[in-house]
């Protein structure tokens, strides 16, 4: 619900913006006065608007501001040996063990096999989790991949042109050699695919089995310097960018 009637139900827009971390109420009022705030696609032209923070689509300078209360959006650096699952009937360590203090109802976005490490997203925002995981949205993911060298020039070319796997062809969006020292080569690979163990299967198919695999990016979110086994809350900008990525 959005309305300019001060007696209507809802929360004043500047209060909602302040609670979402945009800035103080005074700063939020200045943003509104400058015409930099949109609600449900329309520029707000006056102070005093009340909105429902659970349903209103609010943007500042074209960037989505997520105002629903109670949402959790985390980046996790998954260690080797931890399952990409929220439970395991065999008692093995899972993602849930690393985010136990973040609250109930959490989902992990995407998967990394137990032998792989790096970035996972964890959230209780079910629709966002669903869309980020669904192949139709084609969210790009980037990996650092250690393989045995030397690597011929044909390997990056084959990966870009496409490789036939048992469940269909796969083509990477980008690949580059990050470093090469004797028998140790590091590649950076970006692709939209979400099939099971797809990077490992790709590298097997071109004759260079993966020694180590680290996911460093999911869409607009980067692993950065986050330590192994630790989490961090996504910034307001990162959350807004994820929403844009999947048309929310």
Positions annotated as catalytic residues are: 113
Contact between 22 and 58 under an 8 Å Cβ cutoff? The reply is: no
CA distance from start to end of the chain: 17
DSSP state of 100: G
Please report where in the chains the tokens 């109670």 appear, as a residue: 70
Helix axes 236-245, 126-133, angle to 10 degrees: 60
And the tokens for 246?
């999947």
**Cα angle 26, 220, 133; round to 5:** 115
DSSP state of 102: G
> In degrees rounded to 5, what are phi and psi of residue 15?
-70, -40
> In degrees rounded to 5, what are phi and psi of residue 49?
-60, 140
């Amino acid at each position: 619900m959005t309305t300019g009637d001060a007696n209507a139900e809802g929360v004043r827009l500047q209060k909602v913006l302040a609670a979402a971390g945009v800035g103080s109420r005074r700063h939020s009022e200045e943003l509104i006065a400058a015409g930099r705030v949109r609600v449900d696609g329309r520029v707000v032209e006056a102070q005093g608007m009340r909105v429902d923070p659970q349903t209103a689509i609010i943007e500042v300078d074209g960037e989505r501001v997520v105002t629903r209360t109670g949402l959790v959006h985390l980046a996790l650096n998954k260690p080797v040996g931890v399952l990409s699952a929220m439970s395991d009937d065999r008692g093995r360590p899972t993602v849930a063990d690393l985010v136990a203090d973040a609250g109930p109802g959490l989902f992990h976005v995407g998967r990394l096999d137990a032998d792989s490490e790096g970035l996972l997203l964890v959230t209780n925002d079910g629709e966002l989790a669903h869309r980020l995981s669904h192949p139709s949205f084609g969210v790009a993911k980037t990996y650092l991949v250690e393989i045995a060298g030397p690597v011929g020039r044909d390997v990056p070319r084959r990966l870009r042109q496409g490789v036939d796997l048992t469940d269909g062809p796969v083509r990477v969006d980008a690949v580059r050699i990050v470093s090469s020292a004797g028998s140790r080569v590091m590649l950076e690979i970006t692709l939209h695919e979400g099939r099971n163990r797809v990077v490992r299967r790709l590298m097997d198919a071109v004759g260079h089995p993966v020694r180590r695999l680290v996911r460093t990016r999911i869409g607009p979110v980067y692993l950065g310097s986050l330590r192994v086994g630790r989490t961090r809350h996504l910034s307001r900008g990162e959350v807004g960018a994820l929403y844009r990525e999947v048309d929310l």
